[in-house]
Amino acid sequence: MKRLLFLLLMGGASLGLAPTVSAQVTDTTRTVKPQLNTAPPGSAPAPARTPPPVYQPTPTPPTEPVQPGVPASNAPFDPNRPSGLDLPQRPGVAAPELPMRRYFLYSNFGLGFSSLYGFNQFSASLAPAIGYRVSKRFAIGPGISYAYNSYSARGYESIKTNSLGLKGFAQFIVFDQFFLHGEYEVTKAEVLYQDQSTGQLFKGDLTVKTPLAGAGYRQQIGDRAAADIVVLYNFNDGINDIYGQPVIRFSFLFDLK
């Protein structure tokens, strides 16, 4: 009888424990096993990997200011200057200033006419010169001159003379293309003489000094040439005058290299 009771108690205990063991087995199968550290003993865990930085070049400012006509490789892009050059005749871009040419050829052709007490004088002159620009506004130079004159008067036969001389000139640009012009000329000239007893006119040789001064206007023709018109007052307005009054000259200027 005691043995039977012992068996029943043992059977009931086994039935009571069966759900608990089953639940533990079920929970064990659902539990995720922890990951074991496979690193060698004594070594620190490896740090997390970060992506490498992206290289971005730093713009360098130009070391020197951008000069006109020089490529600006370090300057910001300008749609008006795609090649980095300051090209003339582009909107908003001024043409580069041309270098000053010091020497120039200056030749002129002059005409003059005067009349005094029925005595008429017509003159024509040619005077080439070499000019030198001291500055952009002031120029000087030497030259030679040739003058032709025709004298006529009522009751007298026409007389023609030829004169050759040396001169020096100076010009100063006052405003834009307007300038002042002055000359001083020493000429071995043929001039008129009058016989006091008969009143007859005749020509003879004489050294004539002629100062001239006036103003002019210049019209530029291309890069190296220009045309001038000059009106001059003749301070030697007497019997020995070889140019007449006033003296109007048409000049041509050509820049030399």
Which residue shows structure tokens 């070499």?
130
Question: Mean pLDDT, to the nearest integer, of 76-84?
Answer: 61
Cα-trace Rg, the chain = 54
Residue 174 is predicted with a pLDDT of 94
Residue 204 is predicted with a pLDDT of 82
pLDDT grade for 38, boundaries at 50, 70 and 90: low
User: Residue 82: pLDDT above 50?
Assistant: yes
pLDDT grade for 26, boundaries at 50, 70 and 90: very low
By DSSP bridging, strand 225-234 and strand 159-175 are unpaired
State the CATH class of domain 104-255: mainly beta
Q: Which residues contact 50 (CB under 8 A, 6 or more apart)?
A: none
User: Residue 55: pLDDT above 60?
Assistant: yes
230-245 pLDDT, tens per residue?
Answer: 999 988 877 677 777 8
